[in-house]
Each structure stands twice: as C-alpha cells, then as structure tokens.
Amino acid sequence: MRKSLLFAPILLAACATNPPSADAGPPTPLPIHGVTPGHKCRTAGTERFIGDPGSRATGAAIKRVTRAAVLRWAPPGYMLTMDYREDRVTVYLDGGRKVTKISCG
C-alpha cells in the first residue's frame, strides 16, 4: 500500500501538460466527425449520372459535381452505416453495377 502511494505523484506528473506559450498562436481546432473543411455534399446536377456504370471515372465525376470529400458505393444487399456525414456522397448501384440513386450523407 505504501509503495503505491509513493508512485502516485509520479503517475500524476506524467498526466500534466505544459501551458501553451504566448507565441504559439491560436489553438488548432479539433476535427469534427463527418466534416471536412471546404466539402459539403450537394446533389444538384447528379441526375445525369443515373444509369452510368459504377466505375472510378464515374465516381470521380460524382465527387467533383457534389463537392464531397468521401465517396461511398452501395451495391445491392450491401449494409451501410447510419451515421450522417455532410462531406460524403453515397452512390447506389443495381445488380449490373449501374448507378440508380445518389444521395448525400
């Protein structure tokens, strides 16, 4: 018991942080899940991709048009997470790997 009390100050000192210096500038903001600065998905103009093959070229074009940072393919029967990300575009495919729907989130 006494030995553990001797190590307590050492363990607490390891958790201490140095205060920021005055010349360090503003603190870096913490990233927020689902937000990539400068990217917010929008679906305007994506209807032209419906029926196109689900390929790299199509995916790159969809990302450019939607201004999304993340592209997610959704083939039939594929399970998707329900988390919302404003910087992500989801491209739904049919059995022949053709685009059927495009949505943000």
Distance CA 105, CA 68 (A): 9
Which pTM was predicted? 0.67
> What is the CATH number for 72?
3.30.10.10
Q: Please check whether residue 84 lies inside any domain of the structure.
A: yes
Q: Please check whether residue 80 lies inside any domain of the structure.
A: yes
Q: Please check whether residue 23 lies inside any domain of the structure.
A: no
Q: Which domain holds residue 61?
A: 32-104
Give yes or no for residue 51 having a pLDDT over 70. yes
- Write out pLDDT tens, residues 55-94: 999 999 999 999 999 999 999 999 998 888 899 999 999 9
- Write out pLDDT tens, residues 20-48: 555 666 666 656 666 778 889 999 999 99
Distance CA 53, CA 7 (A): 63
Place of tokens 């997470």: 81
Q: Please check whether residue 16 lies inside any domain of the structure.
A: no
On whether the CB atoms of residues 93 and 99 are closer than 8 A, the answer is: yes
Q: Please check whether residue 88 lies inside any domain of the structure.
A: yes
Place of tokens 């689902």: 34
> Hey, is 49 helix, strand or coil?
helix
Q: Please check whether residue 22 lies inside any domain of the structure.
A: no
